[in-house]
Amino acid sequence: MELKYIIQSSDIFFSVKNVLKSYFQISDRLLLRLKNNNRILLNGSSVFIDFPVKTNDIVSINLDFEEDNSNIVPKEMKLNIIYEDDAFLILSKPSNIAIHPSQLHYDNSLSNGVKFYFDSINLKKKIRPVNRLDRDTSGIVIFAKNEYVQEFLAKQMNNKTFNKEYIGIVEGILSKKIGTINAPISRKENSIIERCIDEKGNHSITHYEVINEIDNKFSVINFKSETGRTHQIRVHCNYIGHPILGDTLYGNASTYISRQALHCYKMGFVHPITRKYIEFVDELPNDMNKIF
């Protein structure tokens, strides 16, 4: 993938470096990698980043250099691809699969399946999931195809311009149908997995809106997570007394569903190449749909 920018007469860029840092917002780490691989070009020729620019000059970055991704074991699996282009691969993740390999799941995570797929299309790039979902939470997962795309999307997450929405089914009927849960979250003492509300924890905000109620015992809720703490929505729901249905870690087992009824159904962000806002939707899986 190659990124290009043509210097306009109204620009105040003085050098190639100005364009890289201000327009492309290249990090220092990636800038060094591009320099070392001679991937920074001015009018088609490799240049030093301090080289001056003038109107109609073309500054380009070639991101097609190979990377070592041998740390991930390839594993053939069926991937539900929602969208793909030169920048990223967007998948619908089912429940009961982790995104990252671990000691217990070193060869059967979603990243292993993406590694097999990248090998099949001869894409020699590191496996870069942009967002995280718990093992038993289903929904949209984005894999960046290079470091620039990963950084561009991560910046949007950090400045809260990246829209991520979930549908969840919780126990009980909420008295307040629209609200915000603002409660800090930290790791629970003596646990490597469980989180809890803790006044000394990390700032955590979840916005919610009830969109349906089922048999006067369940509520279907749209969640927007302003911060991205581990297990945030699950911990916050438990905190307000309405745990996610089927969540055995923060609530109760359920005869209606065999995992937490939580699905990341929508994502919207500015595309790192076109600079246009795009949005993707992933329909609810069958195990949640059948509860309605």
Q: Which of 85, 134, 198, 247 is catalytic?
A: 134
- The answer to whether 282 is a known catalytic residue is no
Residue with the two structure tokens 């990963």: 150
Retrieve residue 61's tokens.
């970055």
Task: Tell me the Cα Rg of the chain.
Answer: 22
Alpha-carbon gap, residue 139 to 260, rounded angstroms: 12
Indicate the DSSP class of residue 52. B
Listing DSSP states for 151-197 in one string gives HHHHHHHHTT-SEEEEEEEEES--SSSEEEEE--EEEPTT-SS-EEE
> What interhelical angle do 147-158 and 28-36 show, nearest 10?
170
Q: Which residue has tokens 């006044």?
A: 199
- Give the residues across from 279 on adjacent strands: 268
Catalytic positions are 134
